[in-house]
Amino acid sequence: MTANAPRLLAFAGSLRQGSFNRRLIHVLAEGARSAGAEVTLIELRDYALPIYDGDIEAAGVPEQVRQLQQLMGGHDGLLISTPEYNGSMPALLKNTLDWISRPTADGGSGVALFQDKVAGIVSASPGPLGGLRSLLVLRDALAKLGLIVVPQQVAVGQAADKLPDYGVLADDRQKHQVHGVGAAVVRHLTRAGVTS
């Protein structure tokens, strides 16, 4: 890691103990770090957000939203590991992105916090497809916020067998691919001349 290493914010779209995606995000973070990034790995359970409600926002934006906006503003990109719920991304992820996209404390654009930044995405599921469909939805949502999502992505199926612990992916080929997603994000930012 150097002083001008790309800075990436990483989280999984699951809150539960034993989450496969909370295990997998460590693998993705490791790949990005190996490629030279500085990665801030957070747990969304530490930023418990209400479901977006304009009345809550009008009454006073939750402090956790401000913290997440500051984190997003201080990083050059995102690493996300998403579960798949009924063929889509979980409400947790969408809700988190929606809150961050709201106007910032100084009246700036929340959407601007995402724009022209770079994202790498992976998914994990006990099923055979590994949550592949959620990646399509998440990719689209991130692109609509102005992020560049690298084309490399990995959906880890049979996650109960393959992800026995945090940061452990017991399939060398897929581990290499997940690391490749992190490396692609770093490469993209480095080529773009990011010097955070």
Contact residues for ligand FMN, defined by CB under 6 A: 14, 16, 19-21, 83-87, 125-127, 129, 131
Q: Which is nearer to ligand FMN, 101 or 134 (CB)?
A: 134
Q: In what order do the strands lie in the sheet with 148-156?
A: 38-41, 7-12, 77-82, 118-124, 148-156
Residue 59 forms beta bridges with which residues? none
Rounded to the nearest whole angstrom, what is the least distance from the CB of residue 162 to ligand FMN in the complex? Answer: 12
Which residue's CB is nearer to ligand FMN, number 65 or number 159? 159
Minimum Å distance from CB 112 to ligand FMN? Answer: 30
* Angle, helix 132-144 to helix 91-100, in steps of 10 degrees: 10
**How many other CB atoms are found less than 10 A from the CB of residue 39?**
25
User: Shortest distance, CB of residue 95 to ligand FMN, whole angstroms?
Assistant: 15
Cα within 13 Å of Cα(65), Cβ side: 22
Which one, 108 or 164, has the nearer CB to ligand FMN?
Answer: 164
- Which pair of tokens denotes residue 28? 């993705």
Distance CA 149, CA 155 (A): 15
CB of 124 to ligand FMN, least distance (A): 6
Q: Select 49 or 56, whichever has its Cβ closest to ligand FMN.
A: 49
Closer residue to ligand FMN (CB): 77 or 83: 83
Smallest gap from Cβ 161 to ligand FMN, in A, equals 13
